[in-house]
Chains A and B, each alone.
Chain A
Amino acid sequence: MTEHYTLRVNGRDHEVDGAWLGESLLYVLRDRLGLPGSKSGCEQGECGSCSVLVDGGLVCSCLVLAASAVGQEITTVEALGGPHDAMSVVQEAFVSEGGVQCGFCTPGLVMAVHDLLVRNPEPTDLDVREAISGNLCRCTGYGRVLAAVRAAVGAGGVAGAAGAAGAAGAGGRSE
């Protein structure tokens, strides 16, 4: 493989040029593809701030070798909601329930919650806690985050266009 490859992110192909092949997917998303929504909190897979979907599975993008993700469908937080201020049901719930303080863990948490509700639309409290156990938050103590998940479930979860990851379609964020 050469230092040029193509990644499919949020439904669009992105060319990666002049890269060092040891770069993580997190680095490439943030520093090469103009998608800084995923955050770098530990580079060890311990904090979950970098969570993305790869072929529909929730993983830490800091632990994905970007060059090995060629041919896979990558979904980042930028795919959620819609253009401008349009938010998914989960994102709206995070805002309305006070689940956001500094916001550094928020994109990763929102991805984890989206993933949970796709797989389990009516999770118990313990289900939710286990599903977000890979997302560290230092500000909220998780109380309002759990409230946000409950509110999101009550508002229809991720079913339908308003809720689902990637429903906004291709292209990452609007310019």
Chain B
Amino acid sequence: MTDTATRTRARPRNRLGDSAARPDGIAKTKGQFAFTSDLWAEGLLWGRTLRSPHASARIRSVDVSPAWRIPGVLAVVTAEDVPGSPTYGLDEPDQPVFATDVIRYAGEPIAAVAADHPETARRAMEAILVDYEPTDGVYDADAAFDAPPVHPNGNVFRHIRLRHGDPSATGPVVVEGTYEVGMQDQAFMGPEAGLAIPSEDGGVELFISTQWLHVDRDQVAACLALPADKVRLTLGGVGGAFGAREDVSLQVHVCLLALKTGRPVRMVYSREESFHGHVHRHPARIWMRHHANADGTLVKIEGRVVLDGGAYQSTSGHVLGNATCFATGPYVVPNVVLDGYAVRTNNPPCGAMRGFGAVQACFAHESQMDKLAAACGLDPVEVRLRNAMGHGDRLATGQVVDGVLPTRECIEAAAALALPPPAHDDWMARPGGAGRTTEAADVRRGIGYAAGFKNLMYAEGADDYSTASCRLRDGYAVVTCAAAEVGQGFVTLAGQIARDVLGIDDVTVAPADTVTIGSAGSSSASRQTWMSGGAVEAACIAVRQKVLDAVAARTGGTGLALVDGRIVSEDGSVDIAVADAAPGVEFEATEEFHHRPTSPLDENGQGDAHVSLAVVCQRAVVDVDVELGLVRVVQMAVGQDVGRALNPLSVQGQIEGGTAQGVGLAVMEEIVLDHGRIRNPSFTDYLIPTALDMPEVVATLIEQPEPGAPFGAKGVGEGPTLSSHAAIVAAIRDASGIDVNRCPVRPQDLALAARPSRAPGGSEGGGA
């Protein structure tokens, strides 16, 4: 550090646009960061849940007395013990806290126990006697329409009828297909965890790993018949989320046990219970028919989307909203006839997972675009460029895109990234890896493209606001926001924003809870950068103004501004460090941040339902051993619309992580069901990519600032999951010549396919 006045101080690398380091990174690498499952309290008890092994059954009786007889058991609770609302749910409170007389999915909770050792809790849970009468269930989504109702609310959660333009329009080129997407699981590494501590006032304090503190609090309060201010939620460390923590899982159970026993109770799910305890990505079956002109420009898209929502509604209606509104892809199409259905079955409940319906739709529309390309004699990039949607174009819902939508640029960027070299001559670099199945001559390389888009923030009239406060004193600021940090780096960004606005380095982001601050909304829908970032910015700007006003009042200075950590007047007569502006005085502001209003969809699925859109294009390069059906993803190239990269390292982390989930969906991840029972509720058989499965990921960020977005930045969390799976399947088709219509692609889908419908691509570089 220099002493001379003329040398400028090096700018700290912790402002907006910098790859600022995570504030919790040190604790996490040292194993000192407290995840909820690490929390402990004096007198702690362990909780376990009893879940139904049957997917569809009547409960004739429940006998909890054998559990009570086990020494060390302090509570056994069932539906009878729920003092308030017996059900909860995000869109519709249709999900019982505990089942009473009907079981609707395998894994449905029936009872919970608290004991003084986890092994005792497990034994007690297993001792409970339930007399089930299995019944016939509904396990196929298309069968749900005519099947007897699985629930009194019926079997159709929602139907969206989307009509845009002229339904009778046709085009000379027609391609159609039916596409299936299997049930993916979020598979976060940190299983569900909660620590509930009863309070002296009859309320309860809950440390919880969740995506939205306040909505959890409201549901817990309703079920426990407590006023909201007696249910106090604090965010414990969260081990990933990806949508699986949006719905209530153990929150009511663990609070109930704590209130019953008068002691702290901790519930941590095993991995097997975790697979049963949260919602999954909706499996989908989507039929589409594309009409186009000979030059590949779209005339009309017809489609039928069916999402299997499982036993309870969760957020199925909104997932369907995305799957339908974005079903046509980021392309201009004047005429659209689409029907979307989310249905109820006895399969496990489905809800939010990163990409939220647009992922499933993307597989269908991108498969169609490749068929269209082939039919028109165009290459996959060209057909997409010819139809690319941008600013000023109209969505299938009729809304005009009034923000930035650089579809063309994303496609061109993905296509422009350098292709990878041929694989090393090493078993480990080929399909099959250490299994030594595949030699270079057995490999065909393929390339595929897919573009996708979806909205940011909630839609259809929802006002998903956020709240933040800023307190500044003596040059040190504390930012408080209930936005759930689930790994995505919001805590990092919040500090960057505060430092940027206030021009100081000393910023702490306070722990998130429901007591000290209002709702920040969910950490989902790629919304926190915009909404909670916006709230933090607004609170800091308000505080900054208060500081300037205080200095103006004290000094009489005019035209004051905060520049580089100093308050300066226009004429230079005032020049004070922020830290010295008002010694001992605390400046505080709390701001609520709302996005612009949106409209519901009308009876034709038309309406200005979305705040902002983000688009992405991925190119996949795969090596395929067609004879064995084994796939190695070699490279993913991404062009993503980010508005502005506020923390480039974080953005890269989101792109790589999201792409990994797309790799999983393309080639290995699927919850396998047998009459509604999960056959693979473990990491042994629900396979997520390891470091040996992940390809190199290269990305170009398209930074066109979004008008109306704080900082011009768009959320980047979901972008990389939108089309990565579709690009990989497209590449597999290119390599193998086989028309795969489902994902994940299984070895038998390639190895046992009928004769390829076209010659394998055999792109350059199939092996060293």
Within 8 Å by CB, do A and B touch in the complex? yes
Q: What are the residues of chain B within 8 A of A128 when measuring CB–CB?
A: 691
Contact B188 A102 (CB under 8 A): yes
Name the interface residues of A90-131: CB closer than 8 Å to any CB of B: 91, 94-98, 100-107, 110, 126, 128-130
Contact B31 A76 (CB under 8 A): yes
Closest to A97 in B: B649
- Cα–Cα distance between A41 and B24 once the two chains are bound (Å): 20
> Closest CB-CB distance, B671 to chain A, in whole Å?
15
Q: What are the residues of chain B within 8 A of A91 when measuring CB–CB?
A: 26, 29-30
Q: What are the residues of chain B within 8 A of A22 when measuring CB–CB?
A: 119
Contact A43 B271 (CB under 8 A): yes
User: Which stretch (A64-72, A140-148, A153-161) binds chain B?
Assistant: A140-148
Q: What are the residues of chain A within 8 A of B34 when measuring CB–CB?
A: 36
Contact A146 B30 (CB under 8 A): no
Contact A87 B26 (CB under 8 A): yes
- Cα–Cα distance between A173 and B271 once the two chains are bound (Å): 28
Contact A103 B237 (CB under 8 A): yes
- B656, CB-defined interface residue at 8 Å: yes
Contact B189 A43 (CB under 8 A): no
Contact A87 B30 (CB under 8 A): yes
Contact A143 B656 (CB under 8 A): yes
Interface of chain B: mostly helix, strand, loop or mixed: loop
Category for how many chain A residues contact B: 35 or more
User: Which stretch (B78-86, B471-479, B485-493) binds chain A?
Assistant: B485-493
Closest to B685 in A: A46
Contact A46 B22 (CB under 8 A): no
Contact code string A26-51 (vs B, CB < 8 Å = 1, else 0):
01001000001111111110110100
Number of A-B residue pairs, CB cutoff 8 Å, is 192
Taking each of A37, A96, A139, A142, which has the highest tally of chain B beta carbons within 10 Å of its own beta carbon? Answer: A139
- Cα–Cα distance between A43 and B273 once the two chains are bound (Å): 12
Contact code string B630-659 (vs A, CB < 8 Å = 1, else 0):
000000000000000000011011001111
Closest to A128 in B: B691
Q: What are the residues of chain B within 8 A of A81 when measuring CB–CB?
A: 29-30
> Closest CB-CB distance, B30 to chain A, in whole Å?
6
Category for how many chain B residues contact A: 35 or more
- A135, CB-defined interface residue at 8 Å: yes
Indicate whether A100 sits within 8 Å of B119 (C-beta atoms), given known contacts A44-B684, A138-B240, A142-B656. Answer: no
> Closest CB-CB distance, A97 to chain B, in whole Å?
8
Name the interface residues of B1-45: CB closer than 8 Å to any CB of A: 19, 21-22, 24-35, 37-38
Contact A126 B37 (CB under 8 A): no
Contact B653 A101 (CB under 8 A): yes
- Cα–Cα distance between A135 and B690 once the two chains are bound (Å): 7
* Residue in contact with B688 in the complex, picked from A106, A134, A138, CB distance below 8 Å: A138
Contact A144 B25 (CB under 8 A): no
Contact code string B219-243 (vs A, CB < 8 Å = 1, else 0):
0000000000000000001111010
Indicate whether A41 sits within 8 Å of B190 (C-beta atoms), given known contacts A138-B688, A173-B32. Answer: yes
> Closest CB-CB distance, B222 to chain A, in whole Å?
29
- Cα–Cα distance between A47 and B190 once the two chains are bound (Å): 10
Contact B30 A130 (CB under 8 A): no
- B715, CB-defined interface residue at 8 Å: no
- B429, CB-defined interface residue at 8 Å: yes
Contact B188 A95 (CB under 8 A): no
- Cα–Cα distance between A95 and B28 once the two chains are bound (Å): 9
Residues of A whose CB lies within 8 Å of any CB of B are 20, 22, 27, 30, 36-44, 46-47, 49, 76-78, 80-81, 85, 87, 91, 94-98, 100-107, 110, 126, 128-130, 132-146, 173
Apart from the given pairs A107-B31, A136-B189, A138-B660, 6 other A-B contacts in the complex at a CB distance below 8 Å? A87-B29, A95-B21, A130-B691, A138-B189, A139-B189, A140-B653
Can you list 6 A-B contacts with CB-CB less than 8 angstroms, sorted by A residue number? A36-B34, A91-B30, A101-B489, A103-B487, A106-B31, A173-B31
